[in-house]
Structure 1
Amino acid sequence: MNDSSEKTMFRLLDGLEEEKLSELGDVEAPGEGKPDAETLLRIKRQTWAKLGIAPAPAPAQPADERPNLLARQPLHEPHAAPAPAQPADERPNLLARQPLHEPHAAPASAQPADEQPNLLARQPMHEPHAAPAPAHPADERPDLLARQPMHEPSTAHPSAPRPVRPFRRLWQVAIAAAALLILAVGLSFTTDVKAELRKMLQFIPGLGIVQEGDADKPAYVLETPVKVASGKGEITVEAVMLEPNQTIITLLGTNTPQIREFQLKTGDGREYPFTFSTLVNSNIWQGTYYYPNPIELSAAEEITLQLPDMVIGPLKLKPAKESDALQELGHSAERAGIQIVAVDTPIDEETTKITLLSRLPEGRQIESFGKETITGNVRLELRDGQGAEVPILEDTGFLRPKELLFKHPLQRIGELTLTMPYIRVVDRQAAELEVKLPVPAEGFAPLNETVTLAGFPVTFTQIERTDENNVRIGVNVHFDAAGEETLQSFLVDREDPDLKSYSWRINESSQEIVELNLPVLPGEKEIAFYLKEPRILIQGPWVIPLK
């Protein structure tokens, strides 16, 4: 209700009251005083009755207090103590919305005989088993839009602590339920994430690697190489690794034109283009081809490779061999904290390939298993149950230090045994070591400068300026083949990119480095360089029975 309407309503009330007083002869002449309070109260009630207004009786408030028309009052709570009555002179809200009666409500308090209820007024809705609603005082003009208070449950005393309201309890329950839901979702998410992040070791034949992959999304691989004649030569599909997000294929060609691109075709007719990422030129070429997007493929499907002049396939792909632990992928041996695993793969009825895998302390990587002479005349050996040596076939085209190819003995007695007396590792995380040496103006100068690289001593014994642009430096790495570990060589680096090239010389028997040849600037009196990535010989043996 706006201000104009409210003023009109009160003028109407005042006019009716004066009319009623005149009719009863209760109006006194000016200056003779005003009617008493009882007469005014009776006249007001009769006037309100004409308008159909019936305020419920309530404890009195001060006669001069008029409540805030827009104040929001709390709703009645069940089992609340009666609210105080309103003053007798209050004019009730003509449009006030009163709560409806709830089923099983207690009877409402009696109204005065001369009050008539508002025909449009909405009466309070009693809560089940609620106490009777209190009466409003006759002299109080209630808020036209006010929401009446709910009775607080079991209020013992006005000074008692305010009880928690039902709507607050509902919010508390809702918040608690939400927290439980979030917790449940979090626990479920954690479980799902753990399952999603569960990794398995996957062996990729042909590439000779082990990688971590999702247990639910295995890589598909070609288990054995496939050779196909091509003119006077042949092409070999050495490896196929189809992963969820990429596919890698390697081809090896002998006496054939190099292949730069081809199409992979799946069993349902879909085609995917492959282009080479690396290609090695020689009489025997090797190409690595890459497709950087997913290829949908199930375990039952086969693929074909559509090369420029031929088709290879169908090729059957299978899920990669998986395991929780490296040693479960094949036969293994461990020594000095280094584990070596041999995975055997039949190539044909006469030939088997052994792929060597390893696990080392962080930063170290096996550079040689001893397939070639690693120091002196020592190299790995494969023998049968009677001690007879089984020859390892020579690599053709490219060195494959991790792969051993051998023919099956015609009369093999007992199981085969692979023995590796030494291995050589490279420590790629070793800190680089800066070295500064004086450079003679010409000729030879003795040195006795010792530094420590990854815990191993390195002594520079002499330096010689061979010409104005080069020096030769004598090196002693204190090699000891009988030791558990001994330094064999290292790499050299320079800050100046024009001076990075260098050469070295090794001892033919022990294969330890004994000399460096480095470039220098004309007139340079000091040379600075860095030692890094030490090569360390580690004594075994690692003995692996092959069943």
Structure 2
Amino acid sequence: MTIKDKERDEEYFFELINRTHEFEIDKIANIKFHKDELPDKEIVSRITDKTFRSLGLKRVNSIKFSKQSLIARASILVLIMGSVLALSLSPEVIADLKKRLSFIPGLGIVQTVEQAEQQVYILEQPFEKKVGKSSQLINGIVISNKDVQISMAGIGGKPPKTVSLITDSGNNYSLQLALSNQTGESWQGSYYYIGQVKIKDDDDPSLMLRYDNNLIGPMMLKKANFTESIEELGPSTTKNGVLIASVIKLLENHRVRVNLLSDSPDTVKVNYGINSSSKFRLTDPQGNEIVMQNDSISDFYPNEILFEVNTNGPYTINIPELLVTDLSGIKQKVSLPVPVEGRIITEIPLMLEGLPFELVSVERKDNSTVSIEIDIYDNVENIKKLRNFNIVDINGNAVSYQTEIDESTLALKNLILTIDPSQEKLVLNVTEPTYLIKGPWTLKFNIPQDNALSH
């Protein structure tokens, strides 16, 4: 395998792992990628470390891959993630690429489609089937002339390895499991098919899904709507150079699903604070806070809000701040002395994303452990504040370390590293800064007229 091939595979794998909700990270031990041949260990090591370090958590070695070739694996992951541009693109980029945008409900993504591509069909509403205490939820389906993607969940049993898609023309296609997650009786799965699926070319084609002894459907599909920019997808607002847009959809039983999107580059991960920040607020027309609901599939889509409504609005979303991680690969090399005992003052100034900080000192804790003191200059007036970063060795490989956070500022305070007892120097790359951007972003919206509640 060439270096270029490794970088490509690593990029696809990390994009999938990156979609797991950081505040549900304990569930990552149950995530399985279903492929044919064990992947390159170096790739897995870097991906696993990168994911946990970007979240400021200790690495765990629990991600498992089943067997398949790297070539097949890469093509599968290109299918699943390659067409997704990190939830958004700027209008200029869209114009340059001559592509159209379509939001895919249930998958929580914005997909780009070539103008020359044939019609894309989607499942607009989740479809649920209940039998006794067990249930299956088809949360999202997208069918293009190149591939099929399906997101589903269930209570009881395990995610099936394959699912049969049966079209209204009687054609049968076998979808393979790409990504699964199981916690107790609840499970989730993402499925794919590479190739063109023949369906009736009309406004309301239907299909059914079959696995084991379960037959689900029929489910009606709709032609996807396209726009030139994410602002056209729903209410949007811009603050401090960051645009946030929303996609609002009324589901059954007076439930509403709102997906938040940003115009950040595809190398930037945006945390809106939906499930992590008490400052994030969703309020009704009277200003009362609305309790958001959990959904069995929501762990895959941390940009999604679900809640019940009894009026058309207006409703208000207030996002006081964003937590952003830059995964573009920017880095700074640093060399630090390792004391035989005690503490050495280093006071090395560094900068990432235009945000200065300092490696203050290195202290020997024991025979195989050192602590690096960090001073992240925290000015309460700054719109953009550094909070954390990742470290790797000079070859980009994972480095074993833990972090200590300043409780008052929530900024990185100390890095605790495991070293060789005879080691005299640390040479590291500081990379992947996580920083806070102040808002607020305020989005006011009504239930779309075609979904309006009857009075």
Q: Give the TM-score normalised by the residue count of structure 2.
A: 0.71
Distance 1:499 1:384 in 2: 46
Q: Helix, strand or coil for the counterpart of 1:322? A: coil
Instruction: Give the superposition deviation at 1:312.
Output: 0.5
Q: Per-residue CA shift, 1:2-41, capped at 9, x if unaligned?
A: xxxxxxxxxxxxxxxxxxxxxxxxxxxxxxxxxxxxxxxx
Kept in 2, the 8 Å contact 1:225–1:238? The answer is: yes
Tell me whether 1:212 sits opposite 2:112 in the alignment: yes
Instruction: Give the superposition deviation at 1:325.
Output: 2.1
The residue that corresponds to 1:99 in the other structure is: none
Instruction: Give the superposition deviation at 1:293.
Output: 0.7
Q: Per-residue CA shift, 1:280-316, capped at 9, x if unaligned?
A: 2322322111111111222332110011121011111
Q: Helix, strand or coil for the counterpart of 1:511? A: coil
Letter in 1 for 2:287: G
Kept in 1, the 8 Å contact 2:269–2:327? The answer is: no
Distance 1:353 1:543 in 2: 17
- Decide which structure has greater strand share: 2
Kept in 2, the 8 Å contact 1:420–1:540? The answer is: yes
The residue that corresponds to 1:438 in the other structure is: 337
Tell me whether 1:458 sits opposite 2:357 in the alignment: yes
Instruction: Give the superposition deviation at 1:480.
Output: 3.3
- Identify the range of structure 1 (426-435 vs 389-398) with the bigger mean alpha-carbon deviation: 389-398
In 2 relative to 1, CA 399–288 (structure 1 residues): closer, same or farther, beyond 3 Å? closer
Tell me whether 1:371 sits opposite 2:274 in the alignment: yes
The residue that corresponds to 2:162 in the other structure is: 261
Distance 1:211 1:399 in 2: 17
Kept in 2, the 8 Å contact 1:230–1:256? The answer is: no
Q: Give the TM-score normalised by the residue count of structure 1.
A: 0.59
The residue that corresponds to 1:387 in the other structure is: 287
Distance 1:526 1:385 in 2: 60
Question: Structure 2: where are the runs of 5+ without partners?
Answer: 1-94, 447-455
In 2 relative to 1, CA 399–222 (structure 1 residues): closer, same or farther, beyond 3 Å? closer
Q: Helix, strand or coil for the counterpart of 2:226? A: strand
Matches within 5 A, 1:194-343: 198-215=98-115, 217-283=118-184, 284-297=186-199, 298=201, 299-343=203-247
Instruction: Give the superposition deviation at 1:327.
Output: 1.0
Distance 2:339 2:444 in 1: 57
Kept in 2, the 8 Å contact 1:364–1:425? The answer is: no
The residue that corresponds to 1:479 in the other structure is: 378
Distance 2:254 2:102 in 1: 26
Matches within 5 A, 1:145-156: none
In 2 relative to 1, CA 486–241 (structure 1 residues): closer, same or farther, beyond 3 Å? same
Kept in 1, the 8 Å contact 2:107–2:301? The answer is: no
Distance 1:358 1:476 in 2: 30
Instruction: Give the superposition deviation at 1:248.
Output: 0.8
Which has more radius of gyration? Answer: 1
The residue that corresponds to 1:543 in the other structure is: 442
Kept in 2, the 8 Å contact 1:430–1:534? The answer is: no
- Identify the range of structure 1 (291-300 vs 501-510) with the bigger mean alpha-carbon deviation: 501-510
Instruction: Give the superposition deviation at 1:413.
Output: 8.6
Instruction: Give the superposition deviation at 1:414.
Output: 4.7
Letter in 1 for 2:134: G
Letter in 1 for 2:145: P
Q: Per-residue CA shift, 1:375-432, capped at 9, x if unaligned?
A: xx5x321112222111222455726320011121x5x595111111111222222521
Q: Per-residue CA shift, 1:100-129, capped at 9, x if unaligned?
A: xxxxxxxxxxxxxxxxxxxxxxxxxxxxxx
Equivalenced residue count is 346
Q: Helix, strand or coil for the counterpart of 1:323? A: coil
Question: Structure 1: where are the runs of 5+ without partners?
Answer: 1-194
In 2 relative to 1, CA 499–294 (structure 1 residues): closer, same or farther, beyond 3 Å? closer
Instruction: Give the superposition deviation at 1:324.
Output: 1.7
Kept in 2, the 8 Å contact 1:382–1:417? The answer is: yes
Aligned-residue sequence identity (percent) comes to 28
Instruction: Give the superposition deviation at 1:510.
Output: 3.3
Kept in 1, the 8 Å contact 2:362–2:373? The answer is: yes
Distance 2:260 2:387 in 1: 22
Letter in 1 for 2:189: G
Kept in 2, the 8 Å contact 1:385–1:413? The answer is: no
Distance 2:322 2:226 in 1: 26
Q: Per-residue CA shift, 1:327-355, capped at 9, x if unaligned?
A: 11111111222211111112212211100
Q: Per-residue CA shift, 1:503-544, capped at 9, x if unaligned?
A: 212234532211212221221111111111111211111111
Ranked by relative contact order (alpha carbons within 8 Å, sequence separation 6 or more), the top structure is: 2
Letter in 1 for 2:218: P
Distance 2:333 2:217 in 1: 55
